[in-house]
Chains A and B, each alone.
Chain A
Amino acid sequence: MTAAEKYVLAAYLVVLGAVLLYVVLYSFKLARLEREVAELTALAERRNAQLREPELRQKEPVI
């Protein structure tokens, strides 16, 4: 391989490497977003359960 071929290959690999790095960083971002969605879903479910609690108490049979 000549010096020119090595440099051309290096230039193309730099661009490919940058795109791959972007994909890796984006996958970290997606993982974070997924974690946040899971946290918010759990929070919303807890909130929903708290709202329903008085309703359920009213329906309990009186002894």
Chain B
Amino acid sequence: MSTWLRNSRGASLSLAAFGLLVAGVALAVFWVPNDADQGFSQRIFYLHVPVALTSYACFGWAAWKALRLLQTRDQRYDLESYTAVHMGVIFGALTLATGSIWAKISWGRWWVWSERQLVLFLILFLFYSAYFMLRYSTEPGPRRANMSAVYALFGVALIPVSFLAIRLAESFIHPVVFNRHGPQMAGSMFLTFCVCLAGTLALAAALYQNELTGKRLDARLRALREALA
């Protein structure tokens, strides 16, 4: 069993994600107390914030792989960076969807254009969505890999701007839970948040691993077809 887990990283990550997410949802629904201000609806926090942080992590991972590509010129990093952007965009779309639902309950509106945090996250999401247009407008090869890597590296600069936006804003309605004094929530809430975050990160890692394996297999089959043609 342990050998099987060691040899199948995707499967072990999927199992970890399943276990952590089931535990996280159970804790969020049955264990944590209702928030004094927002009541039951605050439970979206255990989904929305981990998903948003996971999308930042995916974009950060994509930038790291892009940097490795530019340093080493090893083309395998191109596929890894591309897959990480792919995952980041999926989690980014989920962040926007869950955030809109939360906004509707809390603020009575699906979207607030005057809120910097929301608009900056949307810009980040659109920036990385445009990555695919850039990538597929160029012929495959080192030139495309380098262009994609530079783009992914530029995008990562938007992450701290997006993350710090609510802290720098003078007037905001988006809640700030983590500040310089630590997490502003009860211990049970913080534990539930950590389990949900670990589950979401494990889910992203499992999807990344499976997607990367699929993309590598696709590339190898294409090469084999060309060799046999």
Which A residues lie at the B interface, using CB under 8 A? 2-5, 7-8, 10-12, 14-15, 18-19, 22, 26, 29-30, 33, 36-37, 40, 43-44, 47
CA distance A10 to B101 in the complex (A): 8
Apart from A4-B40, A8-B105, what 16 extra A-B contacts exist at CB < 8 Å?
Answer: A3-B105, A7-B102, A8-B41, A15-B51, A15-B94, A18-B94, A22-B90, A26-B210, A26-B211, A26-B214, A33-B218, A33-B221, A36-B225, A40-B221, A40-B225, A44-B228
Q: What interface size band does chain B fall in?
A: 20 to 34
Residue of A nearest to B41 (CB): A4
Q: Which of A7, A19, A30 makes the CB contact (< 8 A) with B101?
A: A7
Cβ-defined contact, A40 with B101, below 8 A = no
- Which B112-127 residues have a C-beta within 8 angstroms of A? none
Cβ-defined contact, B90 with A11, below 8 A = no
Min CB distance, B216 to chain A, in Å?
11
The yes or no answer to B224 lying at the interface (CB within 8 A) is yes
Min CB distance, A43 to chain B, in Å?
5
The yes or no answer to B79 lying at the interface (CB within 8 A) is no
Min CB distance, A29 to chain B, in Å?
6
CA distance A4 to B51 in the complex (A): 20
Residue of A nearest to B44 (CB): A11
The yes or no answer to B98 lying at the interface (CB within 8 A) is yes
CA distance A26 to B83 in the complex (A): 14
In the bound complex, residues from chain B placing their C-beta under 8 Å from that of A11 are: 44, 47-48, 97-98, 101-102
Q: Which of A7, A33, A44, A47 makes the CB contact (< 8 A) with B44?
A: A7
Cβ-defined contact, B104 with A15, below 8 A = no
The yes or no answer to B157 lying at the interface (CB within 8 A) is no
In the bound complex, residues from chain B placing their C-beta under 8 Å from that of A44 are: 228
Min CB distance, B9 to chain A, in Å?
16
